[in-house]
C-alpha cells in the first residue's frame, strides 16, 4: 500500500463504488447487466432474466434499535430489498439473509428479527433460501440478497428515460423521514427524562411509514395490467432528489419537477411544519419511502391518468436544460442530491 | 419480546440457523433447494439450475488485519464463496460484494481489497455484478454472494452418500490452520518485542494456504473429465471432522475415516510437531483449507485411483455403525465436530 491517504468521504457512496469497480471486466455471457442499477441482470432463458440485488444494514448507521423493534427491522430489511427488484419491474422470488450479532443479543431477540423476516416473506411471496449466521464484536449487521425475475423486454433500467417522457411517483413522499424525526425527538425527550411517556399520538401514519414500509409490488402488477412498461424506473430509498439525479444521469437527460405536484400526505406536511421544515424538502431529501419513481411515454398518459397510486410530478427535458425543481412561485431551482452519504 | 433470555451459544451456529428458519415455507416453484447445503438451488431451465451461496466476514472474528493483507483478504473472500459453488459441483459465474467500513480505512485500503477481489474474479472467471458500500461504526465487514450454475443431474448435495461409497478428500489438509498458528505466534512475538523481525522462514507453504487459499474449480473440471458425479460433496472450510459429520448427518449414514490416509503435507506435519500438536488433529479440526470432500460409488474407484489431486480417506457405513476415526494403532475413536463455533 502506498503512503497516500484519501479519506472515504471524498468520493461519496456511489463515486466510491464506481472508483473501486472501474477496472472489472465482464467475463460471462450470462451477465447481462452488472453494477449501476437497482439490481443486476443475469440470463435465465431467451425470454426471461433474473434480477439480483444486495444490501447491508448496520446498527447505528442504518437503524437504531432504541426505537426500531427487531420484528419491524426484519420486515423492513426484506421490504427494502424486494423494492429494488420492483424498481427493475420484476417479481422477487428468493432472498438470502446473513446476520452478524454480538453476544448482547439473546436467541429470543433473533427470533423477533426472523419473525419479521418471515412475515415479509409471506407478504411478498419470497422464499428464504440461504444465509450465514456469525458473531460480531459489536452490534447487529444484516446483509440481504434478493433474487427475482422479469421478462427480458419488461426489465426497466434507470437509463431509458427520453425527452418529453412523464416523471411519475407512486404513493406519497417524505412520510418516512418525518416519522424518523418524531421518533428521534421522543428518544431525546426519553433520554433527558425517562419518566415522560413518548408522545407519538396522531403520528401513526408517518411512524408506520418509517418502521414498516412496504415494497410496491402492487404497482409492478398495476403496470402490467395497464400494459405500461416504464421507460426508466428506480425506487425512492435515498430521497426524491437523489433518485431523479440517478435517472437523469443514467439516461443522459434533464428534468423539470414541480413542487405543487409532489404527493405529500397531509399528516406529513403538518408534522413538517411543526418541525419548521418545508414539506417538499422532506420529500426531496428524506429517505426510505420505498415508493417507485418512473418515466412513461406521453402516449401512455391516458393509461395512468387518475390512477390513485400514481402521480405525474414532472417531465423529462433535454440534457442541456438541466435538472430543475420548479417551486410554487414558478422559480426554477437547480436540483442537487442531498440524499444519504453514509460516509459523512 | 418475552423476558426469557437464552444465550446465542447454546445452539451453535448451525443449530441456530435451523431454529430461526424452521417455520419458513417454500412458496415458489423456482426454489429447488433452500437452506442446508453449501448453496441454494434455483431453477434456470429444464436441464440447468442456479447455485447461490452467501457468506459474511467480520474483522476480528473471521480475519485479523494485523497479518492478513487487504489484497489477500479480498482474494480469499471470493475464493471461499467460489468454493461453496464448487462444493455443489457447479461453476461460479457472478458475485456481489457488500462492504461496511469505518473511517479508519482510507480509499487506498479499499483499493487494495478490491485489487484482491479483482484478481480472484479473473482467476475464477466470475463477474462482480453488484454490491453495497456503507460506513460501519467499527472495523470492516464483507458480505459476498456467489452465483453459479450446474446441470441439474450433476448437482451434488451433502445428502447423497450411500453405504459402501468411498470418502475422498482433495489436496492436503491442516496447512491453513498451521499457517494461522505461525502467524499468531509471530504476532505475539511482535507485540511483546516490536524490534524482532517475524520469523516466517520455511513456512511459505502453510502461510500461503492460510492467506491465499484457492477454490478447487480444477477438481470440478477433473470430475467432469473423469465422468464422475460424486454422490455427495462439501467444501472443507470448518475442518474435516465437521464436514464428515455434515455429510453423514445429511445422508443418514455412518463413516470410517483412516488417520493414515488423511493427506497432510510434510511441512504441515513438521510445524504441527513443532507446536506439540498432532497433525491429524489439525486436519480434523483446523479450518479454511477449502479442499473438497466427496463420496463416490465403489465402481468409480478406478476412475479416481492414482489421481494426484484426490485421496480416498475412508468409506461410508450404515448409520448404526456410527462415525469413526481409525487411528494408526487401529483404535476406533468416535468423531465429534470441533470446527468453528463463532459464538463460543
Residues A140 and A84 in one domain: yes
The CATH number of the domain holding residue A30 is 3.30.1330.10
The continuous run of DSSP H or E covering A295 comes out as strand A291-296
Give the residue from B126, B154, B182 where a domain finishes.
Answer: B154
Among residues of chain A, what percentage have pLDDT more than 70?
A: 97
Residues A170 and A128 in one domain: no
Assess whether pLDDT exceeds 70 at residue A339: no
Q: Which residue has the higher pLDDT, A205 or B3?
A: A205
Could you write out the DSSP letters of every residue in A102-164?
Answer: -TTS-HHHHHHHHHHHHHHHHHHT-EEEEEEEEE-SSSEEEEEEEEEEEEGGG---GGG--TT
In a domain, B344, yes or no: no
Give the residue from B154, B184, B211 where a domain finishes.
Answer: B154
In a domain, A139, yes or no: yes
In a domain, B93, yes or no: yes
Residues B36 and B162 in one domain: no
In a domain, B329, yes or no: yes
50-79 in chain A: CB under 8 A from chain B: 50, 52-56, 58-62, 70
Residue with cell string 412498461: A229
Structural domain total, chain A: 2
In a domain, B327, yes or no: yes
Residues B176 and B236 in one domain: yes
Question: Looking at CA atoms only, how far is residue A192 from chain B in angstroms?
Answer: 24
Nearest CA in chain A to B23: A118
Nearest Cα to B314, choosing from B240, B249, B246?
Answer: B240
**Chain B interface mutation, best of A54, A64, A140, highest count of B Cβ atoms under 10 Å:** A54
Residues B179 and B144 in one domain: no
Residues A92 and A214 in one domain: no
| Residue B128 to residue A10, Cβ atoms within 8 A | no
Residue with cell string 482474494: B75
263-322 in chain B: CB under 8 A from chain A: none
CB-CB contact of A169 with A315 (8 Å): no
pLDDT level of residue A2 (50, 70, 90 thresholds): low
* pLDDT the model gives residue B342: 45
Among residues of chain A, what percentage have pLDDT more than 90?
A: 82
Q: Is A342 helix (H, G, I), strand (E, B) or coil?
A: coil
Nearest Cα to B69, choosing from B206, B192, B207, B201?
Answer: B207
Residues A193 and A90 in one domain: no
Nearest CA in chain A to B4: A108
The CATH number of the domain holding residue B307 is 3.90.650.10
Q: What is the mean pLDDT of residues A18-33?
A: 93
Nearest Cα to B333, choosing from B279, B272, B284?
Answer: B284
Question: Looking at CA atoms only, how far is residue B261 from chain A in angstroms?
Answer: 32
Residues A146 and A287 in one domain: no
Residues A165 and A57 in one domain: no
Residues B180 and B223 in one domain: yes
In a domain, B79, yes or no: yes
Residues of chain B with pLDDT under 50: 1, 339-344
Q: Rounded CA gap, A219 and B123, in Å? A: 42
Domain region containing B58: 8-154
pLDDT 10s digits, A47-103:
999 999 999 999 999 999 988 999 999 999 999 999 999 999 999 999 999 999 998
CB-CB contact of A54 with B131 (8 Å): yes
In a domain, A171, yes or no: yes
ipTM for this model: 0.91
Give the residue from B111, B127, B154 where a domain finishes.
Answer: B154
In a domain, B341, yes or no: no
Amino acid at each position: 500500500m502506498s503512503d497516500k491517504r484519501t479519506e472515504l468521504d471524498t468520493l461519496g457512496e456511489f463515486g466510491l463504488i464506481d472508483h473501486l469497480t472501474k477496472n472489472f471486466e465482464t467475463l460471462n455471457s450470462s451477465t447481462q447487466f452488472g453494477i449501476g442499477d437497482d439490481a443486476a441482470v443475469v440470463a435465465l432463458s431467451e425470454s426471461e432474466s433474473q434480477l439480483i440485488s444486495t444490501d447491508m444494514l448496520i446498527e447505528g448507521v442504518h437503524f437504531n434499535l432504541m426505537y426500531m423493534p427487531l420484528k419491524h427491522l426484519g420486515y423492513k430489511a426484506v421490504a427494502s430489498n424486494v423494492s429494488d427488484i420492483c424498481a427493475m419491474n420484476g417479481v422477487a422470488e428468493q432472498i438470502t439473509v446473513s446476520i452478524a450479532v454480538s453476544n448482547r443479543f439473546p436467541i429470543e431477540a433473533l427470533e423477533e428479527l426472523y419473525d419479521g423476516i418471515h412475515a415479509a416473506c409471506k407478504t411478498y411471496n419470497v422464499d428464504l433460501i440461504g444465509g450465514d449466521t456469525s458473531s460480531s464484536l459489536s452490534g447487529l449487521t444484516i446483509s440481504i440478497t434478493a433474487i427475482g425475475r422479469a421478462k427480458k423486454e419488461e426489465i426497466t433500467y434507470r437509463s431509458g428515460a427520453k425527452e418529453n417522457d412523464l416523471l411519475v411517483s407512486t404513493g406519497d413522499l417524505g412520510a418516512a423521514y418525518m416519522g424518523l424525526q418524531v421518533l428521534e425527538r421522543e428518544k431525546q425527550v426519553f433520554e433527558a427524562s425517562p419518566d415522560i411517556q413518548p408522545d407519538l399520538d396522531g403520528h401513526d401514519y408517518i411512524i408506520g411509514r418509517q418502521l414498516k414500509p412496504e415494497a410496491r409490488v402492487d404497482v409492478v402488477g398495476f403496470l402490467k395490467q395497464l400494459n405500461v412498461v416504464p421507460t426508466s424506473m428506480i425506487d425512492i430509498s435515498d430521497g426524491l432528489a437523489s433518485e431523479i439525479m440517478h435517472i437523469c444521469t443514467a439516461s443522459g437527460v434533464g428534468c423539470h419537477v414541480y413542487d405543487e405536484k409532489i404527493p405529500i400526505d397531509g399528516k406529513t406536511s403538518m408534522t413538517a411544519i411543526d418541525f419548521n421544515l418545508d414539506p417538499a424538502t422532506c420529500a426531496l431529501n428524506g429517505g426510505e419511502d420505498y415508493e417507485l419513481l418512473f418515466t412513461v411515454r406521453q402516449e401512455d398518459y391516458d393509461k395512468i391518468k387518475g390512477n390513485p397510486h400514481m402521480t405525474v410530478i414532472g417531465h423529462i427535458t433535454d440534457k442541456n436544460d438541466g435538472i430543475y425543481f420548479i417551486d410554487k412561485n414558478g422559480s426554477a431551482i437547480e436540483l442537487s442530491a442531498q440524499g444519504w452519504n453514509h460516509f459523512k
